[in-house]
Amino acid sequence: MSSASSHAQLPALDLDVHTAGLPAEVSFATATYPTADGEHTCGYLHAGSQADPLIVFLHGWPELGRSYAALLPMIAAEGYFAVAPDMRGYGASTVYAETAAYAIENAVADVRGLISALKPGEHAEAIVVGHDYGAPVAWSFAAAHPEMCRAVAGMCVPHLPAGASMTAHVNRSMYPEDTFPYGQWDYMVAHQQMPEKLAAEFDADVPGFIATIMRRGNPEQMSKPALQATVRSRGGWFPDGVPFRERDGRVLTAEGYDALVASLSRTGFAYPNAWYRNVEANAAFTESLPGGGRITQPALFVHARYDQVCDTLGSTMAEPMREAIPQLTERIIEAGHWVVQEKPIHTTEVLTDWLSSVRQEG
């Protein structure tokens, strides 16, 4: 884990924009607690009674806790205290200046601190759910702190235990190795090799970038290589400009879009992108986990059928997860990568069905 990290110097967050348009049952709060890299402030949304069992929802790149805004009241209605934090580097949570601060081990410590703050003492336990980059944090938390994690769920990004790699499970009929050596994960390599260029590209048009990447799943795209497979050869994600200017209302509400654009315009993309730049540290952390990341708790994985990049149904990407998690349940939702926002009701139904089984198991 990193030593104390310095905080980035940024303008104040506009909380009115950050919380606009939330469901009436959802409130905003902050918690501040010590972690190994310094005092961390976590901004989070919540619904339900704090006396109820805690369930923590972790967002991915480049999002906010409010990605789960539609789910929180429905989960709370099932008898849970539903919480969705802004992850480090985003929104109302601490933004760190150093790239190393965005290693998964530090994010796991943030989750541990939040659970301890919300459920102090012997009650420090939660169910943890993650989507996109939030999923590896959830999986890692479950493996690192089984005493604090009653159960775990991941959406779109499967668990990769020690020794597993995404590149090894690329669908080579779609991505021939001579043309696409890293498959659809070329964009992750680009974050290592051209980080300043990518951050500058995204920062140059935050509204257009968000409107372009956060769109509903398209079944017709599933038979084609993803644009993320050629980021390095093309010199960026959208070197000639973004193809969309209007948000996809089937994925983002007007207020959600405005809040995300405002948040990312305030921080810039260098800090959110830094999550992708700790490959070696993350691998070492996974190696250090008990059993190399074996997870013994009840677990759920949600496949998004039309997720062109995290295509877990058209590849063997989920196989290492199946070997590392004996109590694994799998479900499929007919949606793209942004499954939580695109299909909030179906996502909630899948989660609550699984949560019922977890409760029955005691």
Q: Which residues contact 350 (CB under 8 A, 6 or more apart)?
A: 300, 302, 331, 333
Q: What are phi and psi of 54, to 5 degrees?
A: -90, 135
DSSP-derived secondary structure for 158-222: ----TT--SGGG--TTTS-TTT-TTGGGHHHHHHHH-HHHHHHHHHHTHHHHHHHHS----GGGG
For position 147, what pLDDT does the model report? 97
The HSE-up count of residue 346 (CA atoms within 13 Å, CB side) is: 16
CA–CA distance, 152 with 56 (Å, rounded to integer):
10
CA–CA distance, 349 with 346 (Å, rounded to integer):
5
The HSE-up count of residue 277 (CA atoms within 13 Å, CB side) is: 20
pLDDT tens series, the chain, 362 aa: 556 789 999 999 999 999 999 999 999 999 999 998 889 999 999 999 999 999 999 999 999 999 999 999 999 999 999 999 999 999 999 999 999 999 999 999 999 999 999 999 888 999 999 999 999 999 999 999 999 999 999 999 999 999 999 999 999 999 999 999 999 999 999 999 999 999 999 999 999 999 999 999 999 999 999 999 999 999 999 999 999 989 999 999 999 999 999 999 999 999 999 999 999 999 999 999 999 999 999 999 999 999 999 999 999 999 999 999 999 999 999 999 999 999 999 999 999 999 999 998 87
Q: Hey, what amino acid is at 153?
A: A
For position 129, what pLDDT does the model report? 99
Q: What are phi and psi of 278, to 5 degrees?
A: -125, 45
And the tokens for 86? 């802004």
Query: For residues 110 and 42, is the Cβ–Cβ distance under 8 A?
Result: yes
C-beta atoms surrounding 135 within 10 Å: 26
For position 3, what pLDDT does the model report? 63
Q: Hey, what amino acid is at 172?
A: R
Query: For residues 46 and 26, is the Cβ–Cβ distance under 8 A?
Result: yes
Q: In what order do the strands lie in the sheet with 81-85?
A: 27-35, 38-47, 81-85, 54-58, 126-131, 149-155, 299-304, 328-333
3-class DSSP state for residue 62? Answer: coil
Domains and CATH numbers, the chain: 15-171+277-360 (3.40.50.1820)
And the tokens for 144? 């690192």
For position 361, what pLDDT does the model report? 84
β-partners of residue 332 are: 303
Query: For residues 328 and 312, is the Cβ–Cβ distance under 8 A?
Result: no
